[in-house]
Structure 1
Amino acid sequence: MDFALPDEVEVLRQKVRGFVESELLPLEADPESYGEHENIAEPLLERMRETAKSAGLWAPQMPVDRGGLGLNVQAMAAFYEAANHSIFGPVCFNCAAPDDGNMMLLEKVARDDQKRRWLQPIVDGKVRSSFAMTEPAPGGGSDPSMIRTTAERDGDLWRISGRKWFITGAQAATHFILVARTSDDTRKGLTAFLFHRDDPNWQIVRRIPIMGPEEHGGHCELVFDGLEIPDENRLMEVGDGLKATQIRLGTARLTHCMRWLGLAQRAIRIARDYVEEREAFGMKLAERESVQMQLGEAAMRIEIGRLLTMRAAWTLDQGDKARKQISMAKIEVADALHQAVDTAIQLNGARGYSKDTILEWIYRYARQARLVDGASEVHKTVLNRFLQQEGQEFWRWGV
């Protein structure tokens, strides 16, 4: 097993790290860099996106002929981790959720004419997008089969009725991917559609307040009251909505892990810088065994998460769906992120709990990691299902 990155990927990783250090980290310390919802302010974001494009660090997940870097999933893991050493990194490089997952889905399954209309503007950074799947109870959440939003066909049109919520980025999105019910079939009852912000007969009824800082466009509740979508804007075949969801969420869950690893490392870096300077009771905090054990354990958990993430990335690159590997990475990295930032806040004391560092921002953001794209408990049941099916082969090597 070779754990070394290819030379060209390591060069790219170092380039991303350099960009983050010189261009993005200084911005985090300036209150003027932030918008109303605690993310990078729009005018500054547009400027930094142009800077990233000029540096050749744009859309790492997209093919070169579409304006991206054409990275495989393993190379993406190295890029995304380095990018999220800054809280502003992913969105500046156009590899932030939800656009990231939406672009990958459209690139894999959309027709060429759909890619020109719905995908390319997202890749170019001209518009943002959103994925409308999750619904209020008793509708679909971690279990898409419970989706109640309906799409009824009328000739060449589909008429949409229902409600969605916690739709990330909706308030800032122009292009939407919608999953709705088209039949009662257990496996083939859902279909995916594309629609535009300006289409009539739907609305955002509220931007849901959350405890953490928000992605651009927030997390919104949507109501559909007869939205009409032409059949030409159907994504994949009728009944392929669950398949589209699985295709999107598979790699998107893993790219969350890639980014969270960068945040976790950033938290530990802040902690290390502090304990190496701070003296109490006649010695540096870094010299205390209790501090060393906390940092050592957090570092180990991050490394476990990195190995699981890269194993899942390698599995995807072999053409496997990597559901088992992604679930393991999702569980472990979510926990590792929370432990890292919690440790960093504890070691920084009141300073860590204040807004004098970025730790409190990361801490609030980190809590969602065990919920988004499937709660940790759901992924653990997925692993148990694989264990029941595979038995001792659960631990086999290879794909």
Structure 2
Amino acid sequence: MEFSLAPDVEALRQRLQAFVATEIMPLEGDPESYDAHENIKLSLLEPLRAKARDAGLWALQMPQERGGQGLSVAAMAACYEEMGRSIFGPVVFNCAAPDDGNMILLEKVATEAQKARWLQPIVDGKVRSAFAMTEPAPGAGSDPGLMRSRAERNGNAWVLSGHKWFITGAGVAEHFVIVVRTSDDQRKGLTAFLVHRDAPGLIIGRRIPIMGPEEHGGHCEVSLDNLQVPDDDRLMEVGDGLKVTQIRLGTARLTHCMRWLGMARRAMEIAGPHVSERQSFGQPLADHEGVQWLLGEAAMAIEVGRLLTMRAAVKLDGGDFARKEISMAKIQVSETLHKVVDTAIQLLGARGYSKDTPLEWMYRYARQARLVDGASEVHKMVLARAFLQEGRDFWGWE
């Protein structure tokens, strides 16, 4: 088992690290850098994106012929972790959700004509995108089988009707991947379609207020009101919608983990100097055993998350769906992120709770990690089923 990075990947990681430190992190301390939804202002984002593109740090997940860097998933793991150290980082490099997952999906399964129309503008940073699957109860959430939005065929087109919500990025997205029901078949009853924001019948409704900072475009309700979609804009075959969601969400869950590990590391980087310098009862905080236990547990949890993430990444690169490996990484990293940021705030005391550091931003952001792309409890169910099916082979070696 080889854990070292190839020289070219290590060089790229170091360039990302330097870019994040010099170009992006300094903006985080200025309140004027933030928009109304606590993300980086577009007036600052676009010049940074141009710099990232010129520096050869753009769209790491996309093939070079599309203008990306052509990284493997394992190489992405190391590099996404570096960009995730800044709360503004991933979006600067066009590696942020939901565009990141949508680009990976379309590159894998779209036709060449669909890639030219729907994918390339996202890669180029000209448009944003959204993936519309989740519905209000009793509709689809972690269980796509509960899908209530439907599409009925009408000649060479489809008519979509239904209601989606918590659609990330929908407030600014121009390209949508929308999953709806086309039959009552349990496995082949869903189909995915590509839709432009301006299509009559696609209604972007309420931007749902949330606890934490938002991605650009927020989390919106979306109505499908007799939305007509040409059959040419169907993604994959009729009935392949569940497959689309599995392909889309598998890698997307893992890239979330990569970015979250960077954020967890950053929280520790903020806490480390503080406990080394801050005096308490005649000695630095770092000399207190209780503080050392907190730091040691946090550091170990991050490393466990890194190993699980890299193992899943290597399996994806080998052509495996890596379902149980991704579930393990998703549980470990999402829960580690929340705990590590909480630990950093505890160690900094009132300063950590204030807006003098990014920790309170991270804390509110981190709470969603245990919910998005499948709650921790759902992923534990996945692991339980895998164990019951595989028995002792659950822990096999490749």
Matching of residue 282 in structure 1 with residue 278 in structure 2: no
Q: Which TM-score applies when normalising by structure 1?
A: 0.99
Cα distance between partner residues in 2 of 1:304 and 1:258: 12
How much has 1:276 moved relative to structure 2? 1.2
How much has 1:321 moved relative to structure 2? 0.3
Q: What per-residue deviation string (whole Å, max 9, x for no partner) do you get for residues 65-114 of structure 1? A: 00000000000000100001101110000000000000000000000000
Alignment length, in residue pairs? 398
Q: What per-residue deviation string (whole Å, max 9, x for no partner) do you get for residues 327-380 of structure 1? A: 000000011111110000000000000101100000000000100000000000
Cα distance between partner residues in 2 of 1:386 and 1:371: 21
Cα distance between partner residues in 2 of 1:202 and 1:245: 20
Q: What per-residue deviation string (whole Å, max 9, x for no partner) do you get for residues 164-216 of structure 1? A: 00000000100000000000000000000000011111212200000000000
Letter in 2 for 1:332: Q
Aligned partner of 1:221 in structure 2 is: 221
Cα distance between partner residues in 2 of 1:47 and 1:156: 43
Q: Percent identity?
A: 70
Aligned partner of 1:342 in structure 2 is: 342
SS in 2 for 1:176: strand
Letter in 2 for 1:382: V
RMSD in angstroms over aligned alpha carbons? 0.6
How much has 1:115 moved relative to structure 2? 0.3
Letter in 2 for 1:164: K
Q: What per-residue deviation string (whole Å, max 9, x for no partner) do you get for residues 44-80 of structure 1? A: 1111100100111000000000000000000000010
Matching of residue 91 in structure 1 with residue 106 in structure 2: no
Cα distance between partner residues in 1 of 2:36 and 2:73: 33
Q: Which TM-score applies when normalising by structure 2?
A: 0.99
Aligned partner of 1:306 in structure 2 is: 306
Matching of residue 200 in structure 1 with residue 230 in structure 2: no
| Farther-moved stretch of structure 1 (272-281 vs 152-161) | 272-281
Q: What per-residue deviation string (whole Å, max 9, x for no partner) do you get for residues 257-293 of structure 1? A: 0000000000011000211111122111111111111
Matching of residue 76 in structure 1 with residue 84 in structure 2: no
Cα distance between partner residues in 2 of 1:45 and 1:296: 36
Structure 2 matches for 1:299-378, cutoff 5 A?
A: 299-378=299-378
Letter in 2 for 1:156: N
SS in 2 for 1:172: coil
How much has 1:12 moved relative to structure 2? 0.7
Cα distance between partner residues in 2 of 1:194 and 1:201: 14
Letter in 1 for 2:376: S
SS in 2 for 1:186: coil
Q: What per-residue deviation string (whole Å, max 9, x for no partner) do you get for residues 1-42 of structure 1? A: 111111111111111000000001101011111111000001
Cα distance between partner residues in 1 of 2:98 and 2:396: 33
Q: What per-residue deviation string (whole Å, max 9, x for no partner) do you get for residues 103-139 of structure 1? A: 0000000000000000000000000000000000000
Letter in 2 for 1:3: F
Aligned partner of 1:145 in structure 2 is: 145
Cα distance between partner residues in 2 of 1:393 and 1:110: 35
SS in 1 for 2:158: strand
Cα distance between partner residues in 2 of 1:339 and 1:241: 35
Letter in 1 for 2:16: V
Cα distance between partner residues in 2 of 1:362 and 1:152: 43
Cα distance between partner residues in 2 of 1:273 and 1:368: 28
Structure 1 runs not aligned, ≥5 long = none
Aligned partner of 1:121 in structure 2 is: 121
Matching of residue 232 in structure 1 with residue 232 in structure 2: yes
Cα distance between partner residues in 2 of 1:318 and 1:161: 39
SS in 2 for 1:320: coil
Cα distance between partner residues in 2 of 1:283 and 1:249: 48
SS in 2 for 1:238: coil
Aligned partner of 1:168 in structure 2 is: 168
Letter in 1 for 2:285: L
Letter in 1 for 2:209: P
SS in 1 for 2:277: coil
How much has 1:393 moved relative to structure 2? 0.1
Aligned partner of 1:266 in structure 2 is: 266
Letter in 1 for 2:45: L
How much has 1:396 moved relative to structure 2? 0.2
Cα distance between partner residues in 1 of 2:124 and 2:3: 33
Structure 2 matches for 1:3-82, cutoff 5 A?
A: 3-82=3-82
Cα distance between partner residues in 2 of 1:310 and 1:293: 26
Cα distance between partner residues in 1 of 2:272 and 2:50: 33
Letter in 1 for 2:33: S
SS in 1 for 2:171: helix
Letter in 2 for 1:144: P
Cα distance between partner residues in 1 of 2:48 and 2:274: 29
